Amino acid sequence: MTDQATQPVLEISELYKSFGALKATDGVNLTLYPGEIHALIGPNGAGKSTLIRQISGEYPPDSGTIRFLGQDLAGLGVADRAQLGLGRTFQVSSLALEFSALRNVMLAVQAKSGSSFRFFKPVMKDRDLVDGAMKMLEKVGLQDRAHIPAAELSHGERRQLEIALALALKPKAFLLDEPMAGMGPEGSKTLTGFLGGLRDQAPILLVEHDMDAVFALADRISVLVYGRVVATGTVDEIRGNRIVREAYLGEETS
């Protein structure tokens, strides 16, 4: 999958970020190549979400660079980076809770399809917005829940809605922070199948604790411990890596 001759879509070099004395990101180097799913695993508090937040523009790194499609992202905000093609989901769902599922996705379709500075045409009469959003909901299997306010959706449905929002942006890379969290075994299985097909659309940086999903999906895995990448490799390499087993996988895998 990883053709080293091609340029990485996302390239993180020597990234550092501390919160006071805590080194949340400690010299991270990481790449994401076209067509791959690169899983980022590590124990709680390892700094996985902090890394995602720096890529998405929410937190500024202390030092180091993040290049996306060859461009240095330094100084760009969250919205700029989304426009460049970073499609992100949150570990804890982040939605417009009063809006229906449909209107949440319509927001993403709207952002993708031109200006938000249009003051007169009602969005619900804009077929492109409504149909475009509906299509995304169908992809994640939420079409029957389209008109339910996000606040009333179940936890799992909100996770699906987050994915639909990211899909609607037609991103050039996905940053998915624990998409399986709290999905239940059935949901996880469905989502695993779905994400597997997504890599052809855009590469995925996948933060995930669900090891079945990670081993099924990942082309490469990086292991983050105390802000450092202690190992990067294929599924088999990571499974066989002694440091990783001690630091993270423990006795579960043999």
Partner 1 sequence: MVRLSKENGLNCVLALALLAAPFVATALDEPFYITLATRVAILAIAGVGLNLALGLGGLVSFGHAAFFGLGGYAAGILASHALNYEPILSSPFELNGTTQMLVIWFVALLVSGLAALLIGFFSLRTSGVYFIMITLAFAQMIYYFAISWPAYGGEDGLSIYVRNVLPGVNTMDPISFFMIAFVLLMLVILFSSMIKNSRFGAALQAARQNDERLATVGIHPFGIRLTTFVISAMITALSGALFADLNRFVSPDMLAWHMSGEIMVFVILGGVGRLFGPVVGAALFILIESVFGGISEYWMFYLGLVLLGVVLYARGGVIGFLAGKEKHD
Ligand X SMILES: Nc1ncnc2c1ncn2[C@@H]1O[C@H](COP(=O)(O)OP(=O)(O)OP(=O)(O)O)[C@@H](O)[C@H]1O
Tell which one of 22, 74, 97, 243 touches partner 1 (CB under 8 A): 97
Rounded Cα distance, 69 and 110, in Å: 23
Q: Which does 124 bind (CB under 5 to 8 A by kind): Mg ion, ligand X, partner 1, none?
A: partner 1
Q: Which does 22 bind (CB under 5 to 8 A by kind): Mg ion, partner 1, ligand X, none?
A: ligand X
**Which range, of 20-28, 120-128, 210-218, 242-250, touches partner 1 by CB under 8 A?**
120-128
Tokens of 22: 């805590």
Q: Is 50 in the site for Mg ion (CB under 5 A)?
A: no
Rounded Cα distance, 73 and 110, in Å: 24
Q: Are 163 and 103 spatial neighbours (Cβ–Cβ below 8 Å)?
A: no
Of the candidates 86, 51, 67, 55, the residue with the CA atom closest to the CA atom of residue 203 = 86
**Which range, of 62-70, 80-88, 190-198, 215-223, touches partner 1 by CB under 8 A?**
80-88
Residue 86 phi, psi dihedral angles, 5° rounding: -95, 120
**Which range, of 13-21, 22-30, 38-46, 163-171, touches partner 1 by CB under 8 A?**
163-171
Q: Is 243 in the site for ligand X (CB under 6 A)?
A: no
Length of the chain: 254
Q: Is 16 in the site for partner 1 (CB under 8 A)?
A: no
Q: Is 127 in the site for partner 1 (CB under 8 A)?
A: no
